[in-house]
Amino acid sequence: MTDYPMGFVDIGAVAMLTNPDSGHGRARHSTERAMAMFRNAGVEVLAFQGRTTEDSRRLTREAVESGRFDAIVVCGGDGMINVVLQETAGKQIPVAVIPAGTGNDHAREHDLPRTSPEAAAEVIAAGFTVTTDLGRITDRTGTVRWFGTVMTAGFDSLVSDRANRMTWPRGSARYNLSIAAELINLRPLSFSMTLHGRHAVPGEPGPVDGSPLELRGSAMLAAFGNTRTYGGGLPVCPFANHRDGLLEVTLVDPVNRVRFVSCMARILKGTHVELPEVHSFRVRSAEVWVHGVDAYADGERMAGPPVTVEAVPAAARFIVPAP
């Protein structure tokens, strides 16, 4: 049985990765306020900012390997946290978050203060640390990417892909316009997947055979949750638990546009799992192919199809509010 240790660690020095553009510029002010709080708490801070994603990864890797820091702090959103996870997964150094993005789903999952950078910095200075699972994605070339929240391969991925390719408008308007465009073009997507290490889903009777389950056909949406929410608090995988060594899979059958919009509305409350066209599984890993659709996780593109996605027990440490 996997051990998930938790407890206080001394926080004397942190390396803080910032993204001034996160949250439509909110991260810049959040960084300044958090740094003032750290100074008052006697915590030494080295703030750094990469010019590119690869540069941010390099700087994070150097901070981890230096052994000088008690935590890596992210002042930004889920995408910036994802950058840091690529370099901290499987290592002992904890990740801490000053939420300053638009979605902040990591912060929601760990009950972090989302409106006060000072309060988030106080949590970090206190140093209460928990151990959690991460999701791991491996593409056809063997390249590995880690994620903390939810991997998608379906309608959600198409929306994210369209939004990333648009240069106008900015912010949430761009995402909303992408949703509207994909709803106009809505169609079932051909898929195949093999689920390994299945466990019973809460609310469904009886044990589940752990043998591989092969699924083929068409679907509107496929989500693989290490945690419950994506997209700024939408509980697409409401039974997910980041400390059980499993991913929750949510699969939506082909439906018409009106029915799909209704299903998406139910996701707001996590009650979509009650619909007959929605299927839930809990698995250790899955091999996934969705025709023409890339895998996205933590709001970022991860890989083209096919991919293998798996839960990796106790792969990360996060600083969270003490119980």
Give residue-wise pLDDT tens across range 44-82.
999 999 889 999 999 999 999 999 999 999 999 999 999
Q: According to DSSP H, which parts of 99-146 are helical?
A: 105-109, 117-126
Per-residue pLDDT of 151-171, as tens digits, reads 999 998 998 888 878 877 765
Residue 214 CA to its chain's centroid (Å): 25
In which residue are the tokens 């469904």 written? 204
C-alpha 278: how far from its chain's center? Answer: 21
Instruction: Name all domains of the chain by residue range, CATH numbers in brackets.
Output: 6-134 (3.40.50.10330), 138-313 (2.60.200.40)
Q: What is the pLDDT of residue 174?
A: 73
Cα dihedral sign for 296, 302, 307, 312?
negative
Percent of the chain with pLDDT over 90: 78
Size (the chain), residues: 323
Tokens encoding 77: 């959103």
* Angle of helix 26-40 versus helix 117-126 axis, rounded to 10: 40
Residue 58 confidence (pLDDT): 97
> Which two tokens mark 283?
């698995």
Give residue 55's pLDDT: 95
* pLDDT tens-digit map of 233-256: 889 999 999 999 999 999 999 999
Q: What pLDDT sits at residue 173? A: 73
pLDDT at res. 20: 62
